[in-house]
């Protein structure tokens, strides 16, 4: 019989004699016939460049950095993680490919349902929906997205975001000119009225 203790960012996963499935603990006596392994629950940064395509078949790139780790605030999620993910090194290709597959799959499906202009104009909403759909898939592995940073980048030779950005800037500049002209015209009319009033007097 041995006394085992986990570190601040670790848990003990205990299986074997007297335990029907798996038991998680921070410290525990390990009896003969039981097996104890430690697993780290600290989040990991995963960096990808997702190749996506809009509904018009226009390609674009989403450089993404996701900080992902086990959902330590929920014991059921932590048990899922202990069973499915912790037997593998969290920095291994197996875990990275799993996470990457979820992120790329959900992002491509979402992008393929939107026009390039919808993606561009609804950038915040697009990123939010990517985040939510990816999280829904990661739930089945007991994983949580702690932070996510997703950008929208043109594919060389297909500068659609640059074009849409310039178009938006030009529209804003034109609108500003119209507003300034309208304001100047209002002042001019006001002055003319003043002059007329003075002349009449």
Ranges of each domain in the chain = 2-40, 44-158
Classify the C-alpha dihedral 188-189-194-199 as positive or negative.
positive
Q: What are the pLDDT tens digits along the chain (201 aa)?
A: 899 999 999 999 999 999 999 999 999 999 999 999 999 999 999 998 888 888 888 888 888 899 999 999 999 999 999 998 888 776 678 888 888 899 899 989 998 998 888 887 777 888 888 899 999 999 999 999 999 888 877 777 656 666 666 665 666 556 656 655 555 555 555 555 555 544 444
Alpha helices, DSSP H, located in 112-159: 116-121, 123-138
SS3 6: coil
Name the CA dihedral angle for 190, 194, 195, 199, rounded to a multiple of 10 degrees.
150
- The pLDDT value recorded for residue 163 is 63
What CA–CA distance (Å, rounded) separates 197 from 117? 52
CATH topology of domain 44-158: Tetrahydropterin Synthase; Chain A (3.30.479)
């Amino acid at each position: 019989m041995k006394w085992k203790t986990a570190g601040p960012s670790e848990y003990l996963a205990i299986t074997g004699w007297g335990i029907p499935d798996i038991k998680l603990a921070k410290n525990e006596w390990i009896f003969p016939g039981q097996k104890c392994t430690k697993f780290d629950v600290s989040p990991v940064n995963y960096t990808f460049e997702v190749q996506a395509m809009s509904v018009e078949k226009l390609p674009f790139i989403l450089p993404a950095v996701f900080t992902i780790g086990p959902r330590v605030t929920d014991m059921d999620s932590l048990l899922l993680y202990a069973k499915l993910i912790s037997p593998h090194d969290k920095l291994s290709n197996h875990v990275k490919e799993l996470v990457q597959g979820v992120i790329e799959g959900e992002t491509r499906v979402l992008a393929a349902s939107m026009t390039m202009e919808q993606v561009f104009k609804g950038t915040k909403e697009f990123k939010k929906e990517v985040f939510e759909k990816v999280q829904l898939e990661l739930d089945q592995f007991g994983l949580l997205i702690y932070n996510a940073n997703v950008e929208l980048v043109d594919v060389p030779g297909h500068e659609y975001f640059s074009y849409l950005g310039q178009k938006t800037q030009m529209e804003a500049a034109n609108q500003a000119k119209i507003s300034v002209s309208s304001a100047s015209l209002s002042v001019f009319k006001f002055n003319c009225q003043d002059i007329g009033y003075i002349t009449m007097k």
